[in-house]
Copies of this chain bind each other. A is one copy, B any other.
Amino acid sequence: MTERIYNFSAGPAALPLPVLEQAQKDLISLGDTGIGVLEHSHRSKAFIAVYEAAESLCREIAGIPDNYKVLFLQGGASSQFYMIPMNLLSKDQTADYLVTGSWSKKAVKEAKVFGNVNIACSSEDKNFSYIPEEVSLSEKPAYVHFTSNNTIYGTEFATEPEVPAGVPLICDASSDIFSRPIDISKYGIVYAGAQKNLGPSGVTLVIIRDDLIEQGPTDIPTMLQYRTHSEAGSMFNTPPTFGIYVLGQVLQWLKDQGGLEAIQQKNQAKAGKLYDYLEQSSLFKPTAAKQDRSLMNVTFVTGDADLDAKFIAQATAAGLDGLKGHRSVGGMRASIYNAFPEAGVDKLIEMMSQFEKEHAS
Q: Is the CB of A7 within 8 A of B79?
A: no
Q: How far is the CA of A81 from the CA of B17 in the complex (A)?
A: 39
A7 cross-chain contacts in B, Cβ below 8 A: 34-35, 39
A-B contact sample (17 more), CB < 8 A, given A7-B39, A23-B27: A2-B34, A4-B29, A4-B36, A10-B41, A12-B40, A20-B27, A24-B28, A35-B321, A38-B246, A42-B201, A74-B74, A74-B240, A78-B223, A78-B237, A81-B221, A193-B237, A201-B239
0/1 interface trace, chain A 68-89, chain B, CB 8 Å (1 if under): 0000001111110110001000
Q: How far is the CA of A27 from the CA of B23 in the complex (A)?
A: 8
Q: Is the CB of A12 within 8 A of B42?
A: yes
Given A4-B34, A240-B240: A28 touches B20 (CB 8 Å cut-off): yes
**Nearest B residue (CB) for A74:** B74
Q: Is the CB of A39 within 8 A of B14?
A: yes
Q: How far is the CA of A28 from the CA of B27 in the complex (A)?
A: 13
| Cβ-neighbour of A242 out of B11, B36, B201, B236 (below 8 A) | B201
A240 cross-chain contacts in B, Cβ below 8 A: 74, 200-202, 240, 243
Q: Measuring CB to CB, which residues of chain A are less than 8 angstroms from any residue of chain B?
A: 1-5, 7, 9-15, 17, 20-21, 23-25, 27-29, 31-36, 38-42, 44, 74-79, 81-82, 86, 106, 109-110, 113, 193, 195, 199-203, 219-224, 236-243, 246, 319, 321-322
Q: How far is the CA of A239 from the CA of B74 in the complex (A)?
A: 10
Q: Is the CB of A193 within 8 A of B238?
A: yes
Q: How far is the CA of A287 from the CA of B106 in the complex (A)?
A: 51
Interface centre among A44, A110, A200 (most CB of B within 10 A): A200
Q: Is the CB of B41 within 8 A of A12?
A: yes
A86 cross-chain contacts in B, Cβ below 8 A: 221
Q: How far is the CA of A90 from the CA of B319 in the complex (A)?
A: 54
Q: Is the CB of A78 within 8 A of B236?
A: yes
Q: How far is the CA of A5 from the CA of B44 in the complex (A)?
A: 15
A36 cross-chain contacts in B, Cβ below 8 A: 4, 15, 20
Query: How many whole Å from A6's CB to the nearest CB in chain B?
Result: 9
A77 cross-chain contacts in B, Cβ below 8 A: 237
A223 cross-chain contacts in B, Cβ below 8 A: 75, 78-79, 81-82
Given A28-B20, A237-B78: A200 touches B38 (CB 8 Å cut-off): yes
A32 cross-chain contacts in B, Cβ below 8 A: 2
Q: Is the CB of A9 within 8 A of B202?
A: no
Q: How far is the CA of A137 from the CA of B202 in the complex (A)?
A: 38
A41 cross-chain contacts in B, Cβ below 8 A: 9-13, 322
Query: How many whole Å from A141's CB to the nearest CB in chain B?
Result: 20
A221 cross-chain contacts in B, Cβ below 8 A: 81-82, 86, 110, 113
Given A12-B40, A78-B223, A202-B203: A34 touches B20 (CB 8 Å cut-off): no
Q: How far is the CA of A200 from the CA of B79 in the complex (A)?
A: 21
Q: Is the CB of B11 within 8 A of A201?
A: no
A20 cross-chain contacts in B, Cβ below 8 A: 27-28, 36, 38
Q: How far is the CA of A17 from the CA of B12 in the complex (A)?
A: 26
Q: How far is the CA of A79 from the CA of B228 in the complex (A)?
A: 13
A237 cross-chain contacts in B, Cβ below 8 A: 76-78, 193
Q: Is the CB of B202 within 8 A of A241?
A: yes
Q: Can you report 16 residue pairs joining A to B where beta carbons are below 8 Å apart?
A: A5-B34, A9-B40, A11-B41, A12-B39, A27-B27, A34-B321, A35-B321, A38-B246, A74-B74, A79-B223, A82-B222, A82-B224, A109-B222, A193-B237, A200-B241, A202-B202
